[in-house]
Structure 1
Amino acid sequence: MFNLSKFRHKHWAVALLGVLAISSVLLTGYTYTHNTVSVGPDSLDLGPFVEPGFPYITTSVDARKLGPGFPTDNIAARTLALQLGDSAYACFDTDLLRWSVAWTGKFLPMVMMAQVSYKDFFNKNNKMTTVPGVPRIATGAYAGWTTGKSVRLTDRPVKEPRWKPLPANLARWNGVYVFENKAILDYSVGAAHIYEMPGSAKFGNEVAFTRNIQAENVSQELYLTAAEIVNATASEVKGGIAYIYQGPAKDTVTAIGILGKSKWQASVEVDKYLVVKLPASSKREEATVAVWRGPVSQKRAFKKFCRGKSASLPDFKKGGPGLWKETVVTQGQLSPDTAAFVTDQLTLPLRNPWKRNVRVADIAFFKDGKAAAVTFEGDVWMIDGIDRNLQNVKWKRFASGLHEPMSIEIVQDTVYVFGREGIVRLNDLNGDDVVDYYENFSNVMAQSAESREWAADLVTAPDGSFYIAKGGSQSNGPAVTPATKGKGFRLGSNENGAVLKISKDGRQAEVIATGLRGPYLGIHPTKGILTASDQQGNFVPSTPIFVIQKGDYFGVEPTLHRKDNPPVTPPLTWIPHSVDRSAISQAWITGNKMGPLNGNLIHFSFGRPGLFRVLIDSTTTPVQGGVSVINAYYPAPTSKGAENPADGQLYVTGFNLWGSSSNGISALLRLRYTGKPSYLPNHFRAGKQGIILNFDSPLDKTVTADPKNFEVKRWNYKRTEEYGSGHFKLDGSTGEETLPVVGSYLSENGKKLLLLVPEMTEVMQMEVTYHLKAADGKKIDDQFWFTINKSQELNLQKEGFNNVDLALLTAKRSEQAVAEAPASAEKGREVFQKMACAGCHSEGTRTKGMYGPPFQNLYKSERVFEDGSKLTADESYIRESILTPSKHIVKGYNEEMPSFVGVLSDNDIESVILFIKSLSRK
């Protein structure tokens, strides 16, 4: 058996084994091919996030507080944090093409979202990365390279970072080559093409930072600003070396020199910048720039070091040796064919030679059925051997070093990944199945350092362009930008909470829609229908699904990014919080091998977790829709997925972090059609006479004829800056309305059902609960949720209903009060589960993965809030927390709970209070 004692959190180990369902596979289901590696019983221990053999990680870095003498306008959202050797490190800002900071000592702390949760799997308390050790060199928020003359922006105060790259006609980041354990930076400055290999070198006890630079097509002189020294006391240029001194005694010096014979010149500008001038040249020029900061007593040693030969760049353009040679083979687990749709599990390669965590964020397929999967760690794995039985699934590491990527696409057999650095095109230059060149396909989108402004989604349009979704800069991040006027958000960039179209060449970005909180996308691969979801929270009353058109605004005021006053575009449908509190992406089934789901839109729920079938009523303007649950086994959050062209099935990825009803960490599933009957609704219409539902299988006529087998509710939400919304009747009062079903009719083919419901009108949320029987005897107890954006007359004859007694809609009805069971702790537990409270609050003491405080021993405990105030958790406090949760936020938690006003009755609330009281010590 595996020794799980070394796991930092044993509950994760147990959950992991459950997720993978490989109790019989653990000892036999993993092998390595090509340089076989022997893996011991503790092999599930994870290695460090930063791997010593890879030259960099991508990250954001806040270097505004390095200390006296360093610039204070120094923060970068997109950098390569480079491991240079000799305990020396540097960050290269790919937006401004500058060394933002270089230091010695320790590497960066792992505190960003993917880093802090890498081993501490539910830790969301991310921070902004700051520089440890001893800072040596820094520049401010201006271009690292300029043409024609040296131009900098630091001589005037910078209020807020621009959060965008330099204009491409002035300078552009092209990408990075990985050659052995070195990074070769590739960028353009004007017409010039620059390759740079950062490094370090020791002379005596000192460390110099080296920049081996190759410059081509330098049609006009270039200037490299290598360092800024704010509190200089003197400067000089002597013997080809430029010096800037600090301190009254001038005892500290920062110097820049050029190794070997070169026409490049080092200089000091404005008494605080160390600059290298590259004269115009038609030839390829190559030299090593060395920068050093240290005691004046070591000046002579640095001068001697600069007399050395310039290093040459290796032959990197053909690719280098593959960093990961092994292939990991896993055995999946097939689900028995117990329903129309089941989930098979592809075992993740967690037992791998690098002890690398594998949290699968997205998957894409080549035409032959081979797949590429991207992980939140920043890795890409190639997956082969995906067949019917999944007994020989081969995993091969393909790429690494990406910045919190959550999307992957394959276009013309080329892999594209969307992370915080932008869209990266992955190039294997020598055919060894390992990426050699990480090409910047597009970084034209803005990107701030706020953690929740994540690179949420990337989809490919039929014309070869791309759409991306960017997260809104929510307040529950590191707060590196000011708070907005609207509650719950930070300023972020001017494209946070937006959907953008990226041109086919990656060079242009067009804002398509704004006003979103946490959008994720779906697109029809041939028709180009673009959809999105958003996540309930501030300004988002419940989970919506949208059909996106250019110019849409979806109601989140802090991400409006417009000066006009656009109307709020209604969603295709709303989904109640208790059904899907955290939505992710969508996928279309366009093949012919998924049975009843062929041609359907599938929606992914992170919080539930699970998949929904989306039905669209296109007869109205605007269109309206509804959802039903595709019941199957979902052992981890379901986030994204893609249809495999080889077998036509839907493959589903997801990983845990932000709070889900599932405790599983990650899974890769195959939603497989078994050929058994499906009992889901596949078509709906809603209008003035009622609701029409068409089912995949014929229904029992006797059962459907009884209106008592149906329950219909409706309610509205209120969009405010508070988190989520309660439920409200059409007259504005709190609560939900129960509508009578006065008649039910079945079509001749036995599949289409008409419910006569009086007083149908526009409403944000409707819920139909049905207790039916299929014609084959199968019991069907399920629900359907939908929105009515436009209530119009239904053409009942066209729908196949000819003998409908419409007089039932106007007949006088007597209402009978429904007796409610007395409040009880048992009922409170049922409410706790039904309302999805269990996804955020533990009824024990667990806090990992939970958005809210645990309930055990909550009653009568002292609650300490973010503002320092305190209260005792008595009945009154618990009731207030259910109805107005934003009034008091417990210290250490964020405002992430909606109001249950109008959702829970007084009896429900009293039952929840009794349940919480029952969890306290006697």
Structure 2
Amino acid sequence: MKPLFLLALLSLTASAADPSKKPNYPPQPWGTWVEADFPFFSSILDARREGVGANNLTPRGIILKLDHECWACFDTDMLRVSAIWRGKGITDKALAPGSYLDAGRKTPGGQFPAPQFDGKLWLGNGLFPGWQSGGKVSTTDPREPAPSKEEVGRGPVDESIDRFQNVRLVNEGVVLEYTASGAEVREWWQASEKEGRPVVERHLSVDASTKDLLLVVGAKMNGPSQEVEAGITVTGDAELLHDDDLWIVRVPAHAKTATFCVSHCDEHEAPAIKPHAISEVAAAVRWPQEAVSKIKPSASKEAYVLDHVDLPDDNPWKRAVRLGDIQFLKDGTGVAITLDGDVWLVRGLHEMNGPVTWKRFTSGLHEPMTCAIRDEQIFVFDRNGIWKLIDTNQDGEADVHELFSNAFAQTADMREFPSTLRLAPKGEFVIAKGGQEATTIGKHNGSVLRVSADGKKSTVLGYGFRQPSIGVNIKTGLVTSSDQEGQYIPSTPLHIVKDHQFYGFLSDKLPKEQYPAPIAEPLTWMPHAVNSSAMSQVWLFDAKMGPLNDQMVQICFNKPELLRVILNERGKRTQAAVVSITDEFDFPPLNGSVNPVDGQLYLAGFQVIGWGNTLDTLAGLCRVRYTGAPSLLPREIVPMDKGVLLRFDVALDPKKAADPASYSLGTWGYKRAHTYGSAQYKADGSTGIDWLTPSGAYVSQDGKSVFVGVPGMKTEMQLRVGWSISSAEGAAMAQNAYTTPYDLVSFDAKAEGFGEITVDLTPRAAAAQAKGPVTIEEGLRLSQMLGCVACHSVKDQDLFKIGPKWNKLFGAKRDYVDEKKKKGSVVVDDAYIRESILQPSAKRHADFAKSEYAMPSYAGVVTDSQLESLVLYIKSLK
């Protein structure tokens, strides 16, 4: 439980400094990101710089790993082969591969740099459908443009043209399955050696078609005059057409299956190769071993504790296990998703100490962060779309990746994260997509969408999010979403998402602060110090978690924490309050769910490179376990016209509960702007908090509730309610709750169980704030409590932080840029540190002057003694 203290706000910091100044972190003990024995992986591929085909960028690409150092990229939106090359593979300019062995490397926003092929290009293609019908190929993109006309990530072409279906793992690699103008197509690739030179073979099988079909193999020209060094030969039931610009294969209308082979090489004449029968045999088991780990139960006696689950870091494949989510099958098997494209089946989690067994289920996905279960089937959301993973031969590994839905757009922007996938009533899904756009404005960046039960249609529920993470009430269909504090998001909100509403975030490519629609107000705001990087919400249905059963919880990433969300539907609109359940995490959580076997909540997470976090742990998994001890959390928090109603599940010490000095309340507001976050503002517009002094406190007749009388209650953007009381059994109860009171309902003492009382609203003199200790230890505590260490390094081996270092800061020379953009330098002393906390924009670190992040003022937020403790702590960091 948190003690009662002043909690501050807002986002400290600045963005990535010069990459050359990045700390040199120890190498990670993993193998290569691209596994030697897996036949494909998913990636963006940027081939634009080679000049082959206009705008040859593939936001959704399946990279086929062939023999003889040959590679091919298949665009699942356009059903085109965007590139064939020979070499080392692709460059690691993306989130997962770039941070795999270098945990400190930040992934920049935008689409530059993006992964490129690493080798010699054999073939490229234009940005138009790879399969067409009729007598002539159209070289225009038939898809509806994005808001930025130049954006190529527009989603799939219409299903009447092409539709990608499956990646099928067979005994000879992978088979790609899709429809082209209604005809079922299957294709299998291999690289062979003919007469001492490598040849890429593309074997195709096309079901009956009443139309002539045209397959665009690639472009003949590299730029305006340079011919591509490639040879193309076609054998079987198809022919290579003459065209000055493109290699085009014609498949005549046919009543039975047509088979043919297209062979490629890096010379002008490719060998003729007989079509190969495409395998129907599912791939053999690839990962027969299981990894084993343990569970370390918490020894705490609190009602809600965290049990640590060891990750299988010592696995036979030297594979990193950076978990983004865990969901459960009915038998308690956990389905765990990793950023690096793997899916693990995890068994034994319901046992107190384990053992836990980890079985690899599949790989090759495109930076997935989340999954969902429907009818015991596994669905994973990655940058390609929503995949349904199928184990056709029941050998414990997926052999079919069915592209259940890509009925929404995906750009190549590195921060258009596939953040959350959740099941909704009637078999539908809801997804949330990252919204920061540094290059173009896409169709669905920063949106929450509903996907139909058949996967064919998506509908935008809400837009204008910076980085949404969602929860769905499977019983009512209620969709909620948090967002991350930042530009246009003054502090962390928790929203209800519905009715295609706008939620306040604008791309920096748009005119500043010119909003397209009224901005939806959140259920509640949450201060920076509580939750500056909010993640998903989980409904604890079918749980065995005592008073939290059937309730919503909010996961916090920055300063990891789990919050209880207490909904308040007494007024004209739904409101909410949040209060901490536990902050004892040793890793940054992202997503999770209830295990149906033991009814406990399991959370998984990893360090998202570029997001600040107070911990240095790369990844983790834990069980939030209800011990059966009395819960000291409030179950209801209601701001009312005469004060605040607090209800608990335990009887309270009547003396402490009835003392108005046991309660502390404060209000403040935020200002939305294009800059990063917001300071806290008093009603008069100055920075700080308006303190409210309780006039009285009244205990209910059953002893489990208290009404805190507060003169002058008003609707506010943020209300903090703090209490320091005890249970009737003597257990300390010290907490803070945060809410946004939009509507103050009337307090009826008798109806609320307080009997015939009159609330005294006579103003009571506020007790002077006691001066706190001024020590290094207090400064350390404050830096952790306020979330400062999420953004500032305090030791040399910290993971990447998004703000200037604190270690070795005192006495060092600091180059800065002031508010008038004038440059200067200063030797860091006590006065500079104080100024940086109270007026952070006065002298911004030169390396961070143009950053996307900015630290707000803490003037009026921290007390004088707290400020001095922070200065002492920063000075102590050597």
Per the normalisation by structure 1, the TM-score is 0.86
Match of 2:210 among 210, 219, 226: 219
Tell me which residue corresponds to 1:534: 483
Asked if residue 404 in structure 1 is aligned to residue 367 in structure 2, the reply is yes
Shift of 1:916: 6.8
Tell me which residue corresponds to 1:343: 306
**1:555-574 maps to which residues of 2 (within 5 A)?**
555-558=504-507, 565-574=516-525
Mapped contact 1:766–1:787 kept (Cα < 8 A): yes
Tell me which residue corresponds to 1:52: 36
Tell me which residue corresponds to 1:21: none
Mapped contact 2:437–2:508 kept (Cα < 8 A): no
Change (3 A) 1:360 1:181: farther
Match of 1:281 among 254, 267, 270: 254
Q: Distance in 1 between matches of 2:415 and 2:727?
A: 46
Residue by residue over 1:404-434, the C-alpha shift from the partner in whole angstroms, topping out at 9 and shown as x without a partner, is 1111111111100001110000011111011
Match of 2:651 among 698, 723, 736: 698
Asked if residue 85 in structure 1 is aligned to residue 59 in structure 2, the reply is no
Tell me which residue corresponds to 2:568: 617
Shift of 1:205: 4.6
Change (3 A) 1:129 1:411: same
Shift of 1:823: 7.6
Change (3 A) 1:398 1:890: farther
Tell me which residue corresponds to 1:27: none
Change (3 A) 1:881 1:287: farther
Tell me which residue corresponds to 1:19: none
Q: RMSD of aligned C-alpha atoms?
A: 2.9
Mapped contact 1:595–1:673 kept (Cα < 8 A): yes
Mapped contact 1:494–1:561 kept (Cα < 8 A): no
Change (3 A) 1:165 1:716: same
Mapped contact 2:418–2:432 kept (Cα < 8 A): yes
Identity %: 31
Letter in 2 for 1:144: G
Q: Distance in 1 between matches of 2:843 and 2:76?
A: 42
Match of 2:715 among 741, 762, 781: 762
Change (3 A) 1:853 1:474: farther
Deviates more, 1:729-738 or 1:182-191: 729-738
Residue by residue over 1:553-574, the C-alpha shift from the partner in whole angstroms, topping out at 9 and shown as x without a partner, is 2111339999994322111111
Tell me which residue corresponds to 2:556: 605
Shift of 1:774: 0.7
Change (3 A) 1:861 1:559: closer
**1:13-28 maps to which residues of 2 (within 5 A)?**
none
Asked if residue 255 in structure 1 is aligned to residue 231 in structure 2, the reply is yes
Mapped contact 2:663–2:723 kept (Cα < 8 A): yes
Deviates more, 1:867-876 or 1:759-768: 867-876
Change (3 A) 1:605 1:351: same
Asked if residue 377 in structure 1 is aligned to residue 351 in structure 2, the reply is no
Tell me which residue corresponds to 1:265: 239
Match of 1:549 among 494, 498, 509: 498
Match of 1:132 among 118, 126, 129: 118
Mapped contact 1:517–1:559 kept (Cα < 8 A): no
- Counterpart secondary structure, 1:85: coil
Mapped contact 2:664–2:692 kept (Cα < 8 A): yes
Residue by residue over 1:180-236, the C-alpha shift from the partner in whole angstroms, topping out at 9 and shown as x without a partner, is 461211111111111111222333453332211111122201111111133589xxx
Q: Distance in 2 between matches of 1:801 and 1:902?
A: 40
Match of 1:151 among 130, 133, 137: 137
Tell me which residue corresponds to 1:842: 793
**1:312-461 maps to which residues of 2 (within 5 A)?**
312-316=277-281, 319-336=282-299, 338-461=301-424
Deviates more, 1:638-647 or 1:325-334: 325-334
Change (3 A) 1:750 1:654: same
Q: Distance in 1 between matches of 2:705 and 2:870?
A: 43
Residue by residue over 1:605-647, the C-alpha shift from the partner in whole angstroms, topping out at 9 and shown as x without a partner, is 1112121111111112321111111126311112111111122
Match of 2:751 among 784, 787, 798: 798
Tell me which residue corresponds to 1:107: 89
Tell me which residue corresponds to 1:24: none
Aligned length: 838
Change (3 A) 1:908 1:273: farther
Q: Distance in 2 between matches of 1:832 and 1:283?
A: 71
Tell me which residue corresponds to 2:430: 467
Shift of 1:336: 2.8
Deviation beyond 6 Å, 4+ runs, structure 1: 8-13, 155-158, 559-564, 821-826, 864-868
By relative contact order (CA 8 Å, sep 6+), the higher-ranking structure is 2
Tell me which residue corresponds to 1:236: none
Letter in 1 for 2:258: E
Q: Distance in 1 between matches of 2:121 and 2:697?
A: 75
Shift of 1:815: 5.3
Segments of structure 2 that go 5 or more residues without pairing to the other structure are 1-21
Mapped contact 2:614–2:784 kept (Cα < 8 A): no
Match of 2:835 among 876, 879, 901: 879
Tell me which residue corresponds to 1:523: 472
Change (3 A) 1:359 1:160: closer
Q: Distance in 1 between matches of 2:358 and 2:184?
A: 36
Change (3 A) 1:873 1:80: farther
Letter in 2 for 1:558: S
- Counterpart secondary structure, 2:138: coil
Deviates more, 1:121-130 or 1:825-834: 825-834
Mapped contact 1:604–1:640 kept (Cα < 8 A): yes
Q: Distance in 2 between matches of 1:813 and 1:232?
A: 79
Match of 1:506 among 447, 455, 480: 455
Residue by residue over 1:819-856, the C-alpha shift from the partner in whole angstroms, topping out at 9 and shown as x without a partner, is 65698767654543332101211233345232212112
Mapped contact 1:58–1:402 kept (Cα < 8 A): yes
Residue by residue over 1:71-115, the C-alpha shift from the partner in whole angstroms, topping out at 9 and shown as x without a partner, is 241111100111111111111111111111111121112231111
Mapped contact 2:208–2:258 kept (Cα < 8 A): no
Mapped contact 2:25–2:102 kept (Cα < 8 A): no
Q: Distance in 2 between matches of 1:473 and 1:917?
A: 32
Change (3 A) 1:150 1:208: farther
Q: Distance in 1 between matches of 2:843 and 2:505?
A: 21
Mapped contact 2:127–2:141 kept (Cα < 8 A): no
Tell me which residue corresponds to 1:97: 79
Shift of 1:905: 4.9
Q: Distance in 1 between matches of 2:623 and 2:218?
A: 53
Letter in 2 for 1:879: E
Mapped contact 1:847–1:854 kept (Cα < 8 A): no
Shift of 1:703: 0.7
Letter in 2 for 1:199: Q
Mapped contact 1:254–1:292 kept (Cα < 8 A): yes
Change (3 A) 1:913 1:407: closer
Mapped contact 1:180–1:323 kept (Cα < 8 A): no
Q: Distance in 2 between matches of 1:173 and 1:740?
A: 63
Segments of structure 1 that go 5 or more residues without pairing to the other structure are 1-7, 14-43, 234-245, 476-480, 483-490
Shift of 1:900: 2.6
Asked if residue 75 in structure 1 is aligned to residue 57 in structure 2, the reply is yes
Change (3 A) 1:822 1:780: closer
Letter in 2 for 1:454: F
Q: Distance in 1 between matches of 2:23 and 2:684?
A: 50
Asked if residue 659 in structure 1 is aligned to residue 608 in structure 2, the reply is no
Change (3 A) 1:694 1:96: same
Per the normalisation by structure 2, the TM-score is 0.90
